[in-house]
Amino acid sequence: MATYAIGDIQGCYDELQALLKTINFTRSDHLWIAGDLVNRGPNSLETLRFLLNLGDQATCVLGNHDLHLLAVHYGATTCKRSDTLDEILEAPDRIELMHWLSKQKLIAHDKSLNVVMVHAGIPPCWTIRKARKRAKEVEKVLQSDQAKTFFNHMYGNKPDLWSSDLSGWERLRLITNYLTRMRFCSPEGQLDFLAKGSLASQPKGYQPWFKTPRKDPTENKIRILFGHWAALEGNADAEHVFALDTGCVWGNKLTALRLEDHQLFSVPAQGKKPKPPPASTYLSNR
C-alpha cells in the first residue's frame, strides 16, 4: 500500500489516468489531491466522477477553481471565457457531483503520515493548528444552507491581512484567500495578488509564504503539500514543503509524489493546451 499526492489536475483526466498507470495504482493505494480538480482542462466532468467514485481511497482539498465551480453552480457568479465547466453544469449528475465537491475540506491532515495538504498554502501568521481550525469555519458554511450567501461574498482581495477581530464574510473571505489563492505574502501575512510567476517575480517586501519558519517550532517538520503555483515547476526550495502543481493544464506535466519515500512520478501533458492567462485576469477569475 502506498500514498500518492498529486497536484492540480484541472480537468486533465487523460493525464491523470496515464499517471495512475505509471505508478501502478491499485485499490490498496491512496490518493491525495491538492485541489483545482477542474477547469481550463478538457475533461473536468470525467475527473470529478472518477474521484467521487474512488470514495475513501481519495483525499481531496478544494482549490480556487473548485470553489469557482461551486459559486457558478449556486448562481453567485457566471462562467468566464476561459472556463471549461459547461459539461459539468449540464451533466445529469450535477447535483450529486456538487454535493460531493462541497463536502471536501480546505485542509487535510494525517498525523500518522505527518502530512498536511492545502491548495495554496498556510500563511506565516498562523500555526498549522490554527489554520486547520479556521479552515473548518469555511467548511461548515460550505456544507450549510448559507453556502449560496457565502459564494455571493467570496470574491475580492480585501481584507488582505489577518486580524483576530475580523468577523462575518470578510473573515471567511480572507481565510479562503489564504488557503486557496496565496502565493506571496509579507512576513506578517499580508497578501499580494499581483505576482504569480516564479520566485524571481517576488515583490519588494513580500516573500513566498513557505519561506517564513512556522510560528510553532514543533510544526517545522510537518510535511506541507500544496498545489496552485505552477510557475514553481514543482520546486518550493524549502525543507518539508512540497510543491505539486507542475502545470499540466499549461502543457507541462502531471506529477505524483509518493509520500512514503518522496519519489516523484510524472507524465507529460497530452494534446493542445491553453496559454496561461495574464495576471490581470487572475484578479477577476480567481
What is the per-residue pLDDT across 117-166, written as a single tens digit (0 to 9) for each? 999 999 999 999 999 999 999 999 999 999 999 999 999 999 999 999 99
Instruction: Using the predicted structure, report yes or no on whether residue 284 has a pLDDT greater than 60.
Output: no
Q: Which residues pair with 207 in a beta bridge?
A: 185
Which H or E element spans position 51? helix 44-54
pLDDT at position 274 is 66
The alpha carbon torsion through 93, 104, 33, 25 (nearest 10 deg) reads -60
Question: Which residues touch 132 (CB under 8 Å, ≥6 apart)?
Answer: 107, 109, 116
Residue 77: name the closest of 87, 90, 67, 62 by CA: 67
Q: How far apart are alpha carbons 234 and 160 in whole angstroms?
A: 26
Identify residue 100 by its one-letter amino acid code. Answer: W
Domains, the chain, in order of start with CATH, read 3-282 (3.60.21.10)
CB atoms within 10 A of CB 236: 21
Whether cis (ω within 30° of 0) applies to the bond prior to 159 is: yes
Q: What is the pLDDT of residues 222-278, one digit of tens each?
A: 999 999 999 999 999 888 999 999 999 999 999 999 999 999 999 999 976 666 655
User: Average pLDDT for residues 53-59, to the nearest whole number?
Assistant: 97
Is the pLDDT confidence value at 279 over 60?
Answer: no
pLDDT at residue 34, rounded to an integer: 98
| Strand runs labelled E in the chain | 3-6, 30-33, 58-60, 107-110, 115-118, 184-185, 191-192, 207-208, 223-226, 241-243, 253-258, 263-268
Give the C-alpha separation, 255 to 4, whole Å.
10
Within 8 A by CB and 6+ apart from 112, the residues are none
Q: What φ, ψ does residue 232 adopt, rounded to 5°?
A: -70, -20
Q: What share of the chain in percent tops pLDDT 90?
A: 87
Q: pTM, whole model, 2 decimals?
A: 0.94
Q: Which three cell numbers stand for residue 8?
A: 492540480
CB 17, CB 260: distance < 8 Å: no
Question: Residue 132 belongs to what H/E stretch?
Answer: helix 128-142
Q: What are phi and psi of 225, to 5 degrees?
A: -105, 135
Q: What is the pLDDT of residue 138?
A: 98
Q: What is the mean pLDDT of residues 41-45?
A: 97
> In this structure, are residues 66 and 37 in contact, taking their beta carbons and an 8 Å threshold?
yes
Q: Give the per-residue pLDDT at 281.
A: 38
